[in-house]
Structures are given as structure tokens and as C-alpha cells.
Amino acid sequence: MSTRDLPDQVGDLPRIGRPATAALLERGVTSLEQVAAMSERQLLALHGVGPRAVRLLREALAEQERDLTE
């Protein structure tokens, strides 16, 4: 999937970078609710998702008083 055609932001996901957004979209993840059901390990296993993207996702989840699953 080319990242050039992706929007900067999808659903209520924070801007985590196009490669990370593409990785989530390939898994059908388009919301923070879906991200909250994942673990940090699962996210980092996705090609394009790195520590920065995970940190930004955690921060967005924390604003909703949520976190990733363990």
C-alpha cells in the first residue's frame, strides 16, 4: 500500500505518521477503541509502527483515560 495516497489522519487516531497509519489500516484499525484492544507488542510487530507511534497512541488513549491491553 502506497502511503502517498493516505490521509494524514484517520478516524479519531492521532497523527502517527503515514507508515504507521497504513499498517493500522491494513489490519482494519481505524479508531482508538480498536487500538485499545491491542498490546504494545502487537502494535510494534506491525511493519511501520515504531516506538514514536506507540507513544502517540498511548497519549491519545490516556486523554480518554484508557490504555493498551497488556
pLDDT for residue 46: 98
**Angle, alpha carbons 8-37-26 (nearest 5°):** 45
Q: pLDDT at position 9, please?
A: 74
- One digit per residue, the tens of pLDDT, for the chain of length 70 reads 566 777 767 899 999 999 999 999 999 999 999 999 999 999 999 999 999 999 999 999 999 999 999 8
- Give the closest residue to 19 by CA, choosing from 40, 41, 56, 46: 46
Distance CA 10, CA 37 (A): 17
Backbone φ/ψ region at 47: left (φ over 0), alpha (ψ -120 to 50), beta: beta
Nearest-5° Cα angle at 57, 5 to 16:
30
- Global pTM reads 0.89
pLDDT for 3 equals: 63
Looking at residue 41, what is its pLDDT? 98
